[in-house]
Structure 1
């Protein structure tokens, strides 16, 4: 129990007035804190000498002391300075200022624990996620009524994912303290049949990671190939069992780098600290997959292609709600693509991209023979460009709509070969699906006994048609380079857009450090 002898129990009238005036003055720069104290009559919740105030103080300092368990920097909450402020509060006025300082620190920690310490859009313009921030005054109001320790325990995400990430964080910290996975492999690539010191080093490193048992074998045999394959599966690599350049780069990645990915993933999990929906669609951009999740279990999964790593083509991160699908869609070419890609082509050859129609402002198709394309710039080009429904349509034969201002959706594609690539970042930002029909059937199965028949009846008309989802489905476009599996074990992916590197840099600047914890 923290007992602070400088705090005054039951101050007399003059002391009460001085305390209240100090609280009002100190809180004046923070409207939420000011509103809270005005509503509670400027009564202390932190600085009484004993009782519930003492329990609250103790709970706050304990939560600060364990902030690093959440991947948050203890230094951000300045516990030493806060303690000194309390201890030096010898007068009612000083106690009033200490009271508000405690509330400011509490609010910072509470929000950081619940919805993250960083503002996503300030880190990367592609992270356009709306963080579910709670009302700041409600933190103080609810805390004053709650069991203090229980309140702090309830703040972080309660998802199995967050719990497993915390467990992995501790495991990696203990590994880091013991020196990690040992020596890196001194080779840029190795393949089955080879032998020698580099192969032994590969076996030892994979053994330290838990992929293969101890052995005196010095050759790249079948057991080592199997271990490499499992490592490749866990890291989103082509599972051919050959330790090529890309695989070797991932094998030689240190514990510290994996720990950074986990800490970033925990911050990201706090940004989405709200229910995702009993049924929802999850697109992990770095994993190049789209999943349908029902009651926490993956019920459908397909490969995806995401935006190319160019400034105006990266797939953004956000959540929305899928309302309908369009079968046999028309492709309304986005303005940026129309003027930056197709206009230059048509300036060189008016008949370029002849599968596309030009439409004027009144919706009429315009003959290319009547247009002098060289007379227009990106700014002045007056036509919309459309591609009618067909097997060649850039959107394929179906698109899945969750209307949003970023013009992002999921869709089919005629470019099927890209799904065989290991890194599938090629689109203009939308998410292409490898198995769009099966994805549609899985969605429609909730509202019809014959999802295939319903979908195919629309498809066979060749005409554009809309099929509404009777129960709209939340869609979450996320970006995780570290994530867990329900059955246990970690999955790591490459930071294709460099977003996680920027998040780590911001966390580091804010005081987050990698700690090596002795087990």
Structure 2
């Protein structure tokens, strides 16, 4: 049974009047038996369809050649039997159900016009009234290819991560057209439902889809707040009224925000500003300075664009992230522990500087190291530590560093004071530096390990003051955790490892200890500049690594 179509008014509200009008007529056309088209049977269409495919139809554009080939294989296996035409109104109604989802692609952050929807709809309307087998066969192929393209794009992404950013190392997902085509061919399956099942099922993706809907429905965007000095509680200023209006527009100031004097910065308005600052990763001081007003003046259209970009990123990720996993949002400077789709804990994180970016990738946590030593990576030793060593002869001893003659296993340990450090520079630094466990160790008291080619991991830090800052891009690529032992104890609890008491004993011993997890736990390092919290609030963050720009460029070049 084909699910009931949306009314014309519903279509106009969801996809816009021009396309809605065209599709409304098309749905009526496809859903009503056409006497002429019914005279052209599937048996008449099949040989013509095979002939068209032998001549190279359907013509696959760049990026769709593999889909077009899969489509040809599918129809050859059916001896050219069409899916939509030649069997009366039922096949055409099934096509209309699929096309309705394609028309609503905007709700998934995808432009329906990417699929030449107007052109396709016009061709289908003509085909539905035609008795020409060649017209019906050509339209059959183009319609199926359009639906298949959308199925691929909404499930695995419109552009591959490797094409987008050299620092994104997410394994590209593959799209298998066969199951989708077979589902289209199943008379008991609704093609619309087949397509609705294709987007990612992640909680985070669903939250972005809802955010997209909510921001799309915002009407009558008010004027921007004029430039000027910072607005502070207690002030009276015409710009306060402008700020009040924009906060109400974006939902940070409710209906109760209407006050007698709209130009007065009241305590109620200060609460709304703090709410907005929290959603945008700003210092929550209720002072509307340059950063807060700059974020507040970002247009709705730009926010919608950011949401769409982040929906694309979620399409790259595995369909299954794990029953329990760690999720680190680099752009959001935070780490989450997730169980059964629910965030059970969340903490602040420090990530890589803009010139030492934390990469995007997934792996599996296999062990933790309590009271770790830190073997300084060569690049950091040359660029960061060597200038300090030259400036302060006692730097190494004070910091608990050991110096070795090289990187071999039997390299001799050297006395730092016996080395003439002025002889060495970035081009020549043969030493290996290792920092002993202790209060000054750069890794703090614990590191959480998932061995990888980037030498990136999660760890503690003695620089606790950095967690109080709103922008936390200060590391050399690794992720520093605000409450690392809370994460360690969670990892041990969900995998059946040692309890908190045993971990505390190891910590207090001041000796290095490696503790393996009985079972590995997935960890996903993502880059999200927009997301929704479990309570439904929409959060945005500054694009610290300019990855939104790179993704946008890749999508435009598609």
Q: TM-score range by the shorter chain?
A: 0.7 to 0.9
Which residue of the partner structure matches residue 11 of structure 1?
Answer: 43
Q: TM-score, normalised to structure 2's length?
A: 0.80
- Alignment match of 2:403 (pick from 347, 357, 377): 357
Question: Is the Cα–Cα contact under 8 Å of residues 22 and 94 in structure 1 kept in the other structure?
Answer: no
For residues 56 and 24 of structure 1, what CA distance do their matches in structure 2 show? 27
Cα offset, 1:244, TM superposition: 2.3
Task: Name whichever of 247-256 and 65-74 sits farther off.
Answer: 247-256
- Correspondence 1:309 to 2:341: no
For residues 242 and 92 of structure 2, what CA distance do their matches in structure 1 show? 56
- Correspondence 1:215 to 2:245: no
Which residue of the partner structure matches residue 146 of structure 2?
Answer: 105
Cα offset, 1:398, TM superposition: 0.9
Judged with a 3 Å threshold, the aligned counterparts in structure 2 of structure 1 residues 449 and 20 are, in CA distance, closer, same or farther, namely closer
| SS of 1:190 mapped into structure 2 | coil
For residues 461 and 432 of structure 1, what CA distance do their matches in structure 2 show? 22
Question: Is the Cα–Cα contact under 8 Å of residues 181 and 209 in structure 1 kept in the other structure?
Answer: no
Q: Deviations over 1:75-109 (max 9, x none)?
A: 21112333455547876566555444333322211
Judged with a 3 Å threshold, the aligned counterparts in structure 2 of structure 1 residues 380 and 45 are, in CA distance, closer, same or farther, namely farther
- Correspondence 1:26 to 2:73: no
Cα offset, 1:24, TM superposition: 4.1
Cα offset, 1:373, TM superposition: 6.8
For residues 211 and 98 of structure 2, what CA distance do their matches in structure 1 show? 25
Which residue of the partner structure matches residue 247 of structure 1?
Answer: 292
| SS of 2:240 mapped into structure 1 | helix
Which residue of the partner structure matches residue 471 of structure 1?
Answer: 519
For residues 16 and 360 of structure 1, what CA distance do their matches in structure 2 show? 70
Question: Is the Cα–Cα contact under 8 Å of residues 46 and 137 in structure 2 kept in the other structure?
Answer: no
For residues 393 and 86 of structure 2, what CA distance do their matches in structure 1 show? 81
Count residues with an aligned counterpart.
Answer: 504
Judged with a 3 Å threshold, the aligned counterparts in structure 2 of structure 1 residues 416 and 494 are, in CA distance, closer, same or farther, namely same
Cα offset, 1:432, TM superposition: 0.1
- Correspondence 1:285 to 2:323: no
Question: Is the Cα–Cα contact under 8 Å of residues 132 and 274 in structure 1 kept in the other structure?
Answer: no
Question: Is the Cα–Cα contact under 8 Å of residues 97 and 190 in structure 2 kept in the other structure?
Answer: no
For residues 94 and 423 of structure 1, what CA distance do their matches in structure 2 show? 59
Which residue of the partner structure matches residue 69 of structure 1?
Answer: 107
For residues 275 and 373 of structure 1, what CA distance do their matches in structure 2 show? 51
Judged with a 3 Å threshold, the aligned counterparts in structure 2 of structure 1 residues 375 and 98 are, in CA distance, closer, same or farther, namely farther
Q: Deviations over 1:26-77 (max 9, x none)?
A: 2696443344334444433344353554244323322221112211112211
Q: TM-score, normalised to structure 1's length?
A: 0.86
Cα offset, 1:308, TM superposition: 0.9
Judged with a 3 Å threshold, the aligned counterparts in structure 2 of structure 1 residues 25 and 194 are, in CA distance, closer, same or farther, namely same
Question: Is the Cα–Cα contact under 8 Å of residues 185 and 202 in structure 1 kept in the other structure?
Answer: no
- Correspondence 1:138 to 2:176: no
Question: Is the Cα–Cα contact under 8 Å of residues 190 and 243 in structure 1 kept in the other structure?
Answer: yes
| SS of 2:494 mapped into structure 1 | coil
Cα offset, 1:390, TM superposition: 2.6
Cα offset, 1:434, TM superposition: 1.3
- Correspondence 1:297 to 2:342: yes
Cα offset, 1:366, TM superposition: 4.2
For residues 104 and 93 of structure 1, what CA distance do their matches in structure 2 show? 17
C-alpha RMSD of the superposition: 3.2
For residues 294 and 41 of structure 1, what CA distance do their matches in structure 2 show? 48
Which residue of the partner structure matches residue 418 of structure 1?
Answer: 466
| SS of 1:114 mapped into structure 2 | helix
Which residue of the partner structure matches residue 50 of structure 1?
Answer: 88
For residues 417 and 16 of structure 1, what CA distance do their matches in structure 2 show? 71
For residues 435 and 163 of structure 1, what CA distance do their matches in structure 2 show? 28
Judged with a 3 Å threshold, the aligned counterparts in structure 2 of structure 1 residues 104 and 377 are, in CA distance, closer, same or farther, namely farther
| SS of 2:167 mapped into structure 1 | coil
| SS of 1:287 mapped into structure 2 | coil
In structure 2, the gaps of 5 or more residues are 1-26, 59-64
Which residue of the partner structure matches residue 542 of structure 2?
Answer: 494
For residues 273 and 66 of structure 1, what CA distance do their matches in structure 2 show? 24
Which residue of the partner structure matches residue 200 of structure 2?
Answer: 157
Q: Deviations over 1:402-457 (max 9, x none)?
A: 22222221101121111111111101111101111222122222355962212123
Does 1 or 2 have the higher relative contact order (CA < 8 Å, sep 6+)? Answer: 1
- Alignment match of 1:272 (pick from 317, 327, 330): 317
Task: Name whichever of 44-53 and 431-440 sits farther off.
Answer: 44-53
Question: Is the Cα–Cα contact under 8 Å of residues 193 and 219 in structure 1 kept in the other structure?
Answer: yes
Cα offset, 1:116, TM superposition: 1.9
In structure 1, the gaps of 5 or more residues are 511-519
For residues 375 and 173 of structure 1, what CA distance do their matches in structure 2 show? 62
For residues 457 and 37 of structure 1, what CA distance do their matches in structure 2 show? 67
